[in-house]
Structure 1
Amino acid sequence: MHALKQRVSEDLRNQVIDLRRRHSLRAVATMTGLPLGTVKTLVSRSGAFRDNDQHRALFTLPTIRVSASTAPAVQVLPSQQRVTGDKEVDALLWLRSVIATGQPGPIATALEAAKKIKTPLKELEGRYTAFLRLTNPDNPFATFSSIGFADLEALASKSVRDQALRVEGAARFGDSLFANTDAEVFCIKAMDGLQRRGSMLDYDKDEVATRFHARPDLMPRTLTDCLCELKYWSHLYWLRNVVDIYGSDGPPESTARDWFVFGLLAEIRPRDKTEALAVFRYLVASERDGMAESESILCNLIG
């Protein structure tokens, strides 16, 4: 290492690290005129391309704590009600309300009971749609609630998933699910005084980047760091969304941070094919592969 310090100036060392953030090791060697082995050594010893443990600690959800208050409670089944006057439609409405409890036992019973209904469920969906249209003649959106009325399997899957998220949110946060997390507080402080130009997403991207780059200790160093943070924001959103659909976005500063980190997927070079593949899978699974940044991200992944 002593010999390496003699041969490479601090400025050149910093240049190598900066170039490596956007280019392959071989490309950095060509651009700087350094041997490939020297570039590899400089990059490895810098530690700049290892996962950032301090960043990871901030963007990690609280540990799940199981208690009597967060354990699933015994559900009281909803009472049957006369809603439409059509016995079969009302029976299906009741089965849907049972499924909506999110409890596996009652859901399984409800799905079995639905199989005993002689009329095709799609026909009952049509009858329910007609009822909504008749009773809400001035509301063109009234029939929207009948969409998927007959798809009990989809409702069951969503109900179980939502219930699991509700239990997880309580186990991780207790009564503080909607309080700003340490990560959100960091974003708010980092962007203090930065004015929005319009909508809640309308911050100047360069100004946002400048604010977050000013805290290098909490910057993602690798694509894996980026994916971990993006997963954090997504998971936090869904934990809140299942409880309150209108209170799940969090502060606008955290939304700006999420998009900033998403943009870093186009800037930080993948360390290997496995990391590149993980980013590609994230793009597809998150349905962000159609975003404006996606082409740049894909170009970054393939070099």
Structure 2
Amino acid sequence: MKAKHRVSDEQRRQVLELRRRHSLREVAEATGLPLGTVKTLVSRSGAFRDNEQHRALFTLPPIKPSADTLPSVPELPPQQVVTGDKEVDAVLWLHAVIRTGQAALIERAMEAAKRIKTPLGVLEKRYRDHLTATNPGNLFAALSSFGFGDLEAMAARATKDHRLRLEGVSRFGGALMDDTDAEAFCIDALRGLEVSGRFGDFDKSQVADRFNAHPDLMPHTLADCLYELDYWSRLYWLRNAVDRDASDGPAEATARDWFVFGLLAEIRPRDKAEALAVFRYLVASDRDDMAESEAIMLNLIG
């Protein structure tokens, strides 16, 4: 009968600390413990299971259907004389129709666009010339003409924004722009820290110290990290659909987002599926060229 391997409290602590950055086999080699013993210690500790308390905080409110989320009766925006060029003004009116985000109105606008005989590229130039002529000396006046004729892209953005606005109302009511509990936690955790540098960022080591002082709300796994990063992303886009100038949230929340992103380079993947999920996140989020990305990739491949 095989004797059980006695493990001291110090060995347990060492195993759990090493496991955060090394594979199970590497931990076994470093500690001199059998691989089976290491697996048992890690499993029983619970330290590498998803942290449900953490996830509870970084979860959007549930969708609550209400009268505010029901589609309203579509109303066409009024036609206006903007430039005096009937064709250009017709396209500007189509822009206004598309910005409603109402699928029925957008469909009508796209059908109406097909009846415009002059190429949209030509009308875009005429609109740009109008902006330049009516805003002499303003080098940025013509910027609003870019994308003038790309009605399909405009319609896609408007439809998405409309859907997100409805979701924001259904989740938050009128409190979408208020600090969430997660943001309040970040503000409290970093209270007293001063920003520095050209971009007014918090010191990363101080940020890490402050958040590490709240182990009950730390991600335990890479899946926890992805869960929280998704929370910050979804919250941003819900707000962005309502007000593009007020969608970033408090600086403390941004610091938390980058802190958790950095943890993707520190917490070891539990399996290939989790590693693959992180890789896909890097690509989909356009963060694969960030300074931390190489360390994250090295962590994934072990």
- Name the TM-score, length of structure 2 as normaliser: 0.96
Give every structure 1 segment of 4 or more consecutive aligned residues whose post-TM-superposition deviation is greater than 3 Å. 3-6, 198-201
Separation in 2, partners of 1:276, 1:144: 42
* 2:162 alignment partner in structure 1: 163
* 2:48 alignment partner in structure 1: 49
Give ranges in structure 1 of 5+ residues lacking alignment: none
* SS of the residue 2:10 aligns to: helix
**Where in structure 2 are the equivalents of 1:102-251 lying within 5 Å?**
102-198=101-197, 201-251=200-250
Separation in 1, partners of 2:12, 2:229: 30
**Where in structure 2 are the equivalents of 1:212-291 lying within 5 Å?**
212-291=211-290
State whether residues 100 and 156 of structure 1, in contact with CA within 8 Å, keep that contact through their aligned partners in structure 2. yes
State whether residues 201 and 255 of structure 1, in contact with CA within 8 Å, keep that contact through their aligned partners in structure 2. no
1:197 deviates by 2.1
* 2:7 alignment partner in structure 1: 8
State whether residues 276 and 301 of structure 1, in contact with CA within 8 Å, keep that contact through their aligned partners in structure 2. yes
State whether residues 58 and 182 of structure 1, in contact with CA within 8 Å, keep that contact through their aligned partners in structure 2. yes
* 2:25 alignment partner in structure 1: 26
* 2:97 alignment partner in structure 1: 98
1:198 deviates by 4.3
1:72 deviates by 2.5
1:119 deviates by 1.0
1:71 deviates by 2.0
Percent identical across equivalent pairs?
68
Summarize deviations over 1:235-257 as a string: whole Å, max 9, x none: 11111122122221111111111
* SS of the residue 1:95 aligns to: helix
Between the two proteins, the alignment pairs up a number of residues equal to 301
- Name the TM-score, length of structure 1 as normaliser: 0.96
1:199 deviates by 5.7
Residues 112/4 of structure 1: CA separation in 2 closer, same or farther (3 Å cut) = farther
Residues 10/225 of structure 1: CA separation in 2 closer, same or farther (3 Å cut) = same
1:18 deviates by 0.6
State whether residues 74 and 104 of structure 2, in contact with CA within 8 Å, keep that contact through their aligned partners in structure 1. no
State whether residues 263 and 293 of structure 1, in contact with CA within 8 Å, keep that contact through their aligned partners in structure 2. yes
